[in-house]
């Protein structure tokens, strides 16, 4: 059984990834910063380790003779109060320590998430973003230092891969939609409810939903179980590796709102749409995923409405409550 070490396994993407890879038959060793996982991983047939990735000595407890690493650890500007030094230390120093551990433990591949803000100049344009476009970064804003750090980590991984002859897979993506009991995040240094969670909440209680700007503008809506599919494909792939966009079918703002009302509103009293064309337009962006399809064999499995139905199921069942708590644990503001 191939041994996979997942850093950031207690996080939003990490937990879903761990469960998916376990179901594929891998021997999963989950790593997180928290002292305890509340027995979530052991109850699901996995092993948990508490590790501070910024401290090299913290890695000594981890297994040897591994097959690969899924490295999802590191601070996020959307989840914590803004702290540039934490972004730099967890992403750059942390990634270097993960690489040193992987090389010393015989790992043959690493999977790493890249921010789409390395292509921010193409956001809100009609141009498809290709996988191998040169990296840049925004000069201002809460994602500036974060993108600088992620770009550096990508370059460090590429250097190690060339030096030690292992495969690396960088996965670039916008929001990966999934259920988490905490509906809040940080945007431009302020804590707010995530827009799509606010829409779901309004639909659930039949409140009117404002539809801002140009309703035809679209973006890719990738569900977490399509993301974990890509991770699994990377573990099975024989190379060459590199940068891959994780995207799918573009969904217009109108379709996004209609889907939320269809899935979350009571059938006998659905939310009404109130159009506000004078308001700001939503983000528009589109990935070219031909490389992901051709080299990894990716095929999007969840339609937008199917992803909402699965999201609603997780919202009701809360399969990760041991790790994350339940929705009532997060105070509404």
Please give the mean pLDDT across all residues of the chain: 95
Q: Give 316-332 pLDDT, tens digit per residue.
A: 999 999 999 998 888 66
SS3 at position 158: helix
Q: 105 and 265 in contact (C-beta within 8 Å)?
A: no
Q: How far, in Å, are 65, 263, 303 from residue 223 at the CA level?
A: 32, 15, 9
Average pLDDT over residues 278-302: 95
Alpha helices in the chain (DSSP H): 12-23, 40-43, 84-88, 94-104, 144-164, 195-204, 224-236, 253-264, 290-291, 304-317, 321-324
Q: 70 and 4 in contact (C-beta within 8 Å)?
A: yes
Residue 20 clears pLDDT 80, i.e. is over it: yes
d(CA 110, CA 154): 11
- Which pLDDT belongs to residue 142? 84
Q: Give 163-180 pLDDT, tens digit per residue.
A: 999 999 999 999 999 999
- Which pLDDT belongs to residue 179? 96
Q: Give 23-77 pLDDT, tens digit per residue.
A: 999 999 999 999 999 999 999 999 999 999 999 999 999 999 999 999 999 988 8
Q: Give 191-226 pLDDT, tens digit per residue.
A: 788 889 999 999 999 999 999 999 999 989 999 999
d(CA 74, CA 86): 8
Q: Give 232-277 pLDDT, tens digit per residue.
A: 999 999 999 999 999 999 999 999 999 999 999 999 999 999 999 9
Q: 259 and 308 in contact (C-beta within 8 Å)?
A: yes
146 confidence band (pLDDT: 50, 70, 90) = very high
DSSP states of 284-319: -B-B--HHIIIII-------HHHHHHHHHHHHHH-T
Residue 188 clears pLDDT 70, i.e. is over it: no
Q: 49 and 62 in contact (C-beta within 8 Å)?
A: yes
Domains and CATH numbers, the chain: 3-180+221-247+284-302 (3.40.50.720)
- Which pLDDT belongs to residue 329? 84
- Which pLDDT belongs to residue 255? 97
CA count, 13 A, side-chain hemisphere, 86: 11
d(CA 131, CA 170): 10
């Amino acid at each position: 059984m191939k041994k996979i070490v997942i850093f950031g396994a207690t996080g939003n993407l990490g937990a879903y990834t761990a469960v998916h890879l376990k179901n594929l038959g891998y021997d999963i060793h989950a790593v997180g910063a928290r002292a305890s996982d509340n027995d979530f991983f052991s109850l699901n047939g996995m092993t948990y380790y508490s590790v501070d990735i910024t401290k090299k000595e913290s890695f000594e407890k981890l297994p040897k003779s591994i097959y690969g690493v899924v490295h999802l650890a590191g601070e996020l500007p959307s989840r914590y109060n803004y702290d540039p030094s934490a972004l730099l230390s967890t992403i750059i120093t942390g990634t270097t320590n993960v690489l040193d551990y992987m090389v010393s433990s015989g790992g043959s591949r690493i999977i790493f998430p890249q921010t789409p803000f390395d292509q921010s100049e193409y956001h809100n344009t009609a141009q498809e973003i290709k996988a191998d476009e040169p990296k840049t970064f925004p000069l201002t804003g809460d994602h500036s230092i974060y993108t600088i750090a992620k770009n550096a980590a990508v370059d460090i991984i590429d250097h190690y891969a060339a030096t030690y002859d292992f495969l690396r897979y960088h996965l670039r993506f916008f929001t990966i939609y999934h259920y988490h009991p905490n509906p809040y995040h940080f945007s431009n240094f302020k804590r707010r409810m995530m827009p799509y969670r606010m829409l779901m909440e309004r639909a659930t209680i039949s409140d009117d939903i404002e539809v801002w700007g140009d309703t035809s503008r679209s973006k890719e809506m990738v569900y977490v179980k399509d993301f974990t599919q890509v991770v699994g494909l990377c573990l099975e792939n024989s190379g060459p590796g590199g940068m891959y966009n994780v995207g799918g079918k573009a969904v217009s703002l109108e379709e996004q709102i209609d889907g939320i009302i269809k899935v979350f509103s009571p059938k006998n009293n659905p939310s009404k749409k109130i159009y506000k064309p004078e308001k700001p337009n939503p983000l528009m962006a589109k990935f070219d995923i031909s490389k992901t399809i051709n080299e990894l064999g990716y095929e999007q499995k969840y339609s937008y409405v199917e992803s909402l139905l699965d999201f609603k199921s997780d919202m009701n069942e809360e399969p990760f409550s041991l790790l994350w708590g339940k929705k009532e644990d997060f105070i509404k503001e």
